């Protein structure tokens, strides 16, 4: 895939990155190699390949979904600076 310095500068502007003029040729070449690799990966036939979350054949140990602690809301809210109807009140930070 052909990548030009103008393409790189356009992407850099969108990403809010500053690329020094002295590094532009090197960045353009590396960016082009990355896009070539992505294009090469797009050509791989993945038909019939099941998606996986882990490349190793592992089983995740899970704990039982059970309540392990008593509700302590009342005790915790006694020391809270501001509470209303069982909820902690926090100051508004965005208008």
For 19-78, the pLDDT digits (tens) are 999 999 999 999 999 999 999 999 999 999 888 877 787 777 888 889 888 889 999 999
**The predicted structure's pLDDT at residue 4:** 94
Say how far apart CA 26 and CA 5 lie, in whole Å. Answer: 10
**The predicted structure's pLDDT at residue 1:** 63
In the numeric block, which tokens belong to residue 31?
């960016």
For the chain, give every domain's residue range: 5-42
**46-to-6, 54, 82, 95 alpha-carbon distances in Å:** 34, 17, 56, 49
**The predicted structure's pLDDT at residue 23:** 96
What are the beta bridge partners of residue 84? 87
pLDDT in tens, 86-95: 999 998 898 7
* Nearest-5° Cα angle at 20, 17 to 25: 105
């Amino acid at each position: 895939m052909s990548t030009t310095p103008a393409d790189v500068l356009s992407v850099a502007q969108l990403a809010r990155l500053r690329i020094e003029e002295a590094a532009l040729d090197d960045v353009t070449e590396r960016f082009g190699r990355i896009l070539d690799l992505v294009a090469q990966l797009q050509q791989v036939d993945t038909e019939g390949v099941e998606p996986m979350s882990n490349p190793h054949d592992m089983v995740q140990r899970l704990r039982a979904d059970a309540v392990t602690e008593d509700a302590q809301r009342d005790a915790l809210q006694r020391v809270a600076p501001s509470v209303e109807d069982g909820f902690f009140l926090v100051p508004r930070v965005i208008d």
